[in-house]
Amino acid sequence: AKAAGGDRFVFYTRDMTDRAETRLRLESGLREAVAARSFELVYQPKIEAASGRLTGFEALIRWRHDGAAVSPADFIPVAEDTGLIIEIGRWVLEEACRTATRWALDHGPVPVAVNVSARQLADPGFARLVEQVLQRHGTPAHLLELEITETVIMKDVRHHLPTLNRLRALGVRIAIDDFGTGYSSLAYLRQLPVDVLKIDRSFVNDLPHAPDIASTVIALAQRLLLSTVAEGVETAEQRHWLAEAGCDCLQGYLISRPLAAEAAEAMVMTAFAR
Ligand code: C2E
Ligand code: CA
Ligand code: CA
Ligand code: CA
């Protein structure tokens, strides 16, 4: 009986140690990756629902660690906790702007959206950083869109408002990501300097049988003169429903998986060759 209790205790500790070890390995790997700039961006296209025309891309970070791809859903939270997200986020911004400028010069202007984390947005120097990066790469501000999740914005609207206003004044577009998952106060939403609502994938996933949330977000966006993007569109039925409902843009595996820069550039080239 004593042994059983002892075993359980040992097992528990080992489990904790394993988890702490995994976390530490991830953390030191991330530090090395930041120093070596060994990340990559992939680009997922967005299209106009009515016409199928290419309207832009979302840049998504990729990291290979010890020969395996680590999901950003796993390492971005660690980067947030450790503060490494500040440097990673700066790299993402630079890389996306460099790409948007190159595509604009070689083919034509295509907006690129970048995800911004809580810690980045809270950084007092963030708006200035964005301005400097745009200048450094000669990127027209309207080609940069910043995606900020609803939860991050709404958690502290009053604190973030000045930064959002500064970004908007630069001419950068602002999208509220994963919209519908938080609890936006409508009064606040009206005052926020935002351009785009991205309907969270979980609600797109419910289409066409449970369309209430998607309908509501689209109606709300139309009322506030915001544009809508549906994320995670996977089926022809979803695409059809969204186009009929007046959703402006679509993004998801049905249209395309995220693409390496070269494949994305080929799409840009085709879009401007018509
Ligand atoms: P997110 O911003 O909501 O990005 C959408 C995620 O859904 C991406 O996953 C994308 O690959 C995936 N996705 C796109 N279409 C479909 C679809 O049709 N079906 C399904 N099942 N999934 C789809 P990914 O690239 O693994 O990124 C996960 C999350 O990690 C992102 O969610 C974002 O919150 C974060 N993230 C990614 N890149 C960055 C970055 O550069 N900076 C920051 N701060 N966060 C990032
Ligand atoms: Ca996003
Ligand atoms: Ca999203
Ligand atoms: Ca999401």
Distant-in-sequence, close-in-space partners of 44: CB < 8 Å, separation ≥ 6: 57, 58, 60, 251, 256, 257, 258, 259
Task: State in Å: Cα 13 to ligand 3 middle.
Answer: 36
* Nearest-atom index, ligand 1, CA of 42: 25
DSSP 88-107: HHHHHHHHHHHHHHHHHHHT
Q: What residues are neighbours of ligand 4 (ion), with CB under 5 Å?
A: 178
Q: Is the CB of 145 under 6 A from ligand 1?
A: no
Task: State in Å: Cα 78 to ligand 1 middle.
Answer: 16
Of 187, 183, 235, 169, residue with least CA distance to 207: 235
Of 148, 214, 217, residue with least CA distance to 186: 217
Per-residue pLDDT of the chain (274 residues; tens, 9 = 90+): 344 444 555 555 666 677 788 888 889 999 999 998 889 999 999 999 999 999 999 999 999 888 889 999 999 999 999 999 999 999 999 999 999 999 999 999 999 999 999 999 999 999 999 999 999 999 999 999 999 999 999 888 889 999 999 999 999 999 999 998 887 777 788 889 999 999 999 999 999 999 999 999 999 999 999 999 999 999 999 999 999 999 999 999 999 999 999 999 999 999 999 6
Please state whether the predicted TM-score (pTM) of the whole model is above 0.90: yes
ipTM surpasses cut 0.85:
yes
For residues 152 and 78, what is the distance between their CA atoms, to the nearest angstrom? 17
For residues 176 and 188, what is the distance between their CA atoms, to the nearest angstrom? 13
For residues 270 and 226, what is the distance between their CA atoms, to the nearest angstrom? 28
